[in-house]
Structure 1
Amino acid sequence: MVKARTSAAELIEKGRVRVNGARETSPGHAIKTGDVLTIALDRTVRVLKVTAFNERRGDAASARVLYEELSEANPDSRRN
């Protein structure tokens, strides 16, 4: 969702991340498979279910297979 760990930590510190419905306050909180993350970004809210983890950091393409998108990527696409 963000490119750097510091950006992710900022989202958490600003109260924009929930883990399983509870607001997260610690950037070091451990996440496990099956957790549902709700992330409030500038113009969207993303809801993701963690499905797996990588041994090492990777690019965005390799990260996409590690979660399931539960929210619609583009809410405007619902309009007819």
Structure 2
Amino acid sequence: MRIDKLLWFLRFAGSRGLAQGWVEEGHIRLNGRRVERCSAGVKTGDVLVLPLRNSVRVIEIITLPARRGPALEAQGCYRVLDAAPLAPLARPEIEP
């Protein structure tokens, strides 16, 4: 399955165009390699590194989704590998 379509089906991207932008800008990693082609194929067992707002999420694809369904259906298609709670990439500096 194409990586842009997968990101949209799994509800990480609100639109397929947004997913294509992330891929073309080199923000997505597939099995440790930066992906720059939207047509890059993803299969079961692949590991993706995704930027999310202020953090990074690492997931393993368990099964390829057949459609863009509800969030619970999408979450059943992948396993989160970074089990630690989401932490911000940068914290604002607080002065006493």
Q: TM over 0.5, yes or no?
A: yes
Cα distance in 2 for residues equivalent to 1:46 and 1:22: 15
- Give, in whole Å, the separation in 1 of the partners of 2:65 and 2:37: 21
Match status 1:74 vs 2:53: no
How much has 1:73 moved relative to structure 2?
Answer: 4.0
Match of 2:15 in 1: 4
Which amino acid is 2:79 matched to? E
The 2-side partners of 1:2 and 1:50 are apart by 16
Structure 1 CA distance for aligned equivalents of residues 33 and 63 of structure 2: 21
TM-score by length of 2: 0.71
Q: Can you give the 5+ residue segments of structure 1 that lack an aligned partner in the other structure?
A: none
Question: Counterpart in 2 of 1:62?
Answer: 73
Tell me how many residue pairs correspond in the alignment.
76
1:46–1:73 contact (8 Å) kept in structure 2: no
Counterpart-to-counterpart distance in 1, 2:39 and 2:70: 21
Compare relative contact order (CA 8 Å, sep 6+) and give the higher one, 1 or 2.
Answer: 2
**1:10-29 equivalences in 2 (<5 Å):** 10-29=21-40
Q: Distance in 2 between matches of 1:16 and 1:59?
A: 25
User: Stretches of 4+ moved more than 4 A in 1?
Assistant: none
Structure 2: 5+ residue runs without aligned partners? 1-11, 89-96
Normalised TM-score (structure 1): 0.84
Among the aligned pairs, what percent are the same residue? 33
